[in-house]
Structure 1
Amino acid sequence: MEQIFSQGQLFVFDLDGTLYEGTDHFDYYAERLLLDVAEENKDGFNRDYQKMKEGNHPVKIGKAYDVERDTVLTLDPFTLKVVKVETWEGIVWSDEKLAEVYHGQLTFDFEKMIAIGDGWWLPFAAAKHYGVKDCHPRYVETKEYMVTELFQLEQIPGVREGLIKLKETKKLVLVTNSDIDDVGRLLKELNLDGVFEHIVTSAKKPSRTVEIFKQLIEQYEVDPEQIVSVGDNFINEIAPAIQMGMKGIYIDPLKGELQHAQLKVVSSLGDCF
């Protein structure tokens, strides 16, 4: 960890799930989406979402979901190429069918090909499977709920002090898919106002991750190996960084077995400080 911090000159942080923790907001999002699920499918939605949270469903964080084909895709974590395809019920496609349909690297969007990089996408996938056409209004409702007194952000001990100390010698940038109003409110509640010298909101990761990284390289006049991408979403923040020659700090509470010379896996951002 010391080597990554000493070699890095520009640190690019995610917001949701990185600078604060907790899963209650994902459950709230699921509850809101359930309102849009047809009555005959509500039990199925609840059952599948619970299985996802327990790790007993094909849909898992780190995979992808093809909305149109209703398939769950296992990816090589570093190349993001499809290595396994399952139906919603867990039936595995043949290698021949996989090669015919999913050749080359996937292109993700937010409607048809979903990178399940964090807990936001589990209820989303369940909602899409059960026929919900538009999930965005419920996402907006959840974000609004998160800045009310009814919701308490789980601040991570030591992070504010650690970031301020890091800022003395490094450049800190925030890149998030949240919109500018959400980011302002969340940073204020986390007491992180003014910590980041540059903030990119509505980033549309992972579809624009590489583009944003290239812009930061040019703006800050640094080499890729001098940049450290920090986040809890491997597909959004870590895999693209490693592909570009950058370093990554991946926040994974389960501390899985991912290994790479340019990668450090931690259970919480607090572990870095």
Structure 2
Amino acid sequence: MTIKVIVFDLDGTLYEDTHHFEYFAKKLSTRLNNADGFMNQYYEAVEEKHTLKVGTVYDRENDRILIQKEGRVLEAFQWDGTPLLPVEEYYPNAITFDFKTMQSIGDLWGVPIAIGRHFGLSSVEINEAFLETRRYMMSDEFVMSPVRGLANTLEELAKTKKLVLMTNSPQVDSERIVEKLGLKGLFTYAIFEAKKPVKTEERLRTIASHFGVETEEMMSVGDNWINEINPARKLGCSTIFIDVHQIGDARSADMVVHQVSELVTSLQLI
């Protein structure tokens, strides 16, 4: 079926810059007495030397780290990495992601957030640090490197397809980042603070209704499998997964790439 609408995530999908994650982590650490301990665990997680890493799940209520597939917990660990066995006794039922109890670590935003919660930061404190980081990203101090060929490729696609931006980030800073990337004016529809993955399917249906298309005529592009790929596949959308952290395989989406620069080539094939 011909693709008529392409839905793009923003962070980690339309740019490859990552230095803002450390900035965010440091902003969180300033709200703690044990800032050094927080940052040490952050660096361990980023370097995949910690049990918590991209692709895992943080059980906020029990301060545990989980490995799951389609909601079924396969492995569970205490924060220090001690396995919880047998796992079926701890998690007999499928888990769901609701922003309250289970946090999917689908990208590098999730790593400092989970560590912050482990160290006792409140949702208010985490959100304050997040907004400070987004303001930094809007500023001239945050220098971005647009992905070569992406703007031209999107311009060509926009001639025959509707391009949509759907992000969990706020509108003002997201629009500024889009402008910095040279992509202003290419998206005919946008959803900010989308509350993915909880509302991903609902948002995709809204987009389909807005453009008068079937979900099978849409494509979802993103770097967070739980947020952007899995819900879209359930609705029959085509998918491109930017698997930077190599947590999936060739079956994870219709097309799997490992960096945004590879995405450009995939988009040119549509």
CA offset at residue 191 of structure 1?
A: 1.3
The match for 1:12 is 7
Aligned-partner Cα distance in 1 for 2:215–2:71: 20
When the two chains are superposed, the root-mean-square deviation of aligned CA atoms in Å is 1.7
Distance of 1:190 and 1:80 partners within structure 2: 35
Match of 1:219 in 2: 210
- 1:209 deviates by 0.6
- Off by >6 Å, runs of 4+ in structure 1: none
1:36 aligned partner: 31
CA distance in 2, matches of 1:153, 1:90: 36
1:90-110 CA-to-partner distances (Å, cap 9, x unmatched) read 12222332333xx1241321x
1:3 is aligned to none
- The equivalent of 2:268 in structure 1 is none
**Which secondary structure does the structure 2 equivalent of 1:210 belong to?**
helix
Q: Is the 8 A contact 1:71 1:85 kept in 2?
A: yes
Summarize the alignment of residues 44-193 of structure 1 with structure 2, pairs less than 5 Å apart: 44-76=37-69, 79-93=70-84, 94-100=86-92, 103-109=93-99, 111-133=100-122, 134-193=125-184
Q: In structure 2, do the counterparts of structure 1 residues 21 and 91 end up closer, same or farther at CA, with 3 Å as the change threshold?
A: same
Residue number in structure 1 paired with 2:267: none
Show structure 1 runs of 5+ residues with no match. Answer: 1-5
Separation (CA, whole Å) in 2 of partners of 1:201 and 1:70: 29
TM-score (norm 2): 0.91
Give secondary structure in 2 for the equivalent of 1:245: coil
Runs of at least 5 residues in structure 2 that lack an aligned partner in the other structure: 265-270
- Find the aligned partners of 2:88 and 2:183 in 1 and give their Cα distance: 50
What is the number of residues matched between the two proteins? 261
Deviation at 1:83, TM superposition (A): 2.0
Amino acid at match of 1:65: Y
Q: Does 1:209 align with 2:200?
A: yes
* Worse overlay, 249-258 or 162-171: 249-258
Give the corresponding residue for 2:16. Answer: 21
Q: Compared with structure 1, are the counterparts of its residues 272 and 23 closer, same or farther at alpha carbon in structure 2 (3 Å cutoff)? A: closer
Matched residues in 1 for 2:81 and 2:227: separation?
Answer: 25
* Distance in 1 (alpha carbons) for counterparts of 2:251 and 2:150: 25
1:70 is displaced (CA, Å) by 0.3
Instruction: Give the secondary-structure state (helix, strand or coil) at the position aligned to 1:21.
Output: coil
Structure 2 distance, partners of 1:11, 1:209, is 14
Instruction: Give distance in 1, aligned partners of 2:233 and 2:72.
Output: 15
Q: Does 163-172 or 262-271 show the bigger shift?
A: 262-271
1:229 aligns with 2:215: no
Q: Secondary structure, in 3 states, of the residue corresponding to 2:39?
A: helix
**Cα pair distance change 1:113/1:99, threshold 3 Å:** closer
* Preserved CA contact (<8 Å) 1:62 1:235: no
| Deviation per residue, 1:9-37 (Å, 9 max, x gap) | 21100011111112110000011100111
Distance 1:247 1:83 in 2: 27
The amino acid of 2:66's aligned partner reads L
Partner of 1:195: 186
Distance, in Å, in 1 between the alignment partners of 2:77 and 2:219 is: 33
Aligned partners of 1:112 and 1:206: how far apart in 2? 14
Q: Is the 8 A contact 1:84 1:98 kept in 2?
A: no
Q: Distance in 2 between matches of 1:126 and 1:262?
A: 29
Number of the residue aligned with 2:262: 271
**So what's the TM-score if we normalise by structure 1?**
0.90
CA separation of 1:191 and 1:61: change in aligned 2, threshold 3 A: same
Rounded Cα–Cα distance in structure 1 between residues aligned with 2:172 and 2:243? 27
Tell me by how many angstroms 1:219 deviates: 2.0
Amino acid paired to 2:262 = D
How big is the shift at 1:206? 1.1
Secondary structure of 2:67's aligned partner? strand
User: Is residue 70–residue 87 contact of structure 1 (8 Å, CA) maintained in 2?
Assistant: yes
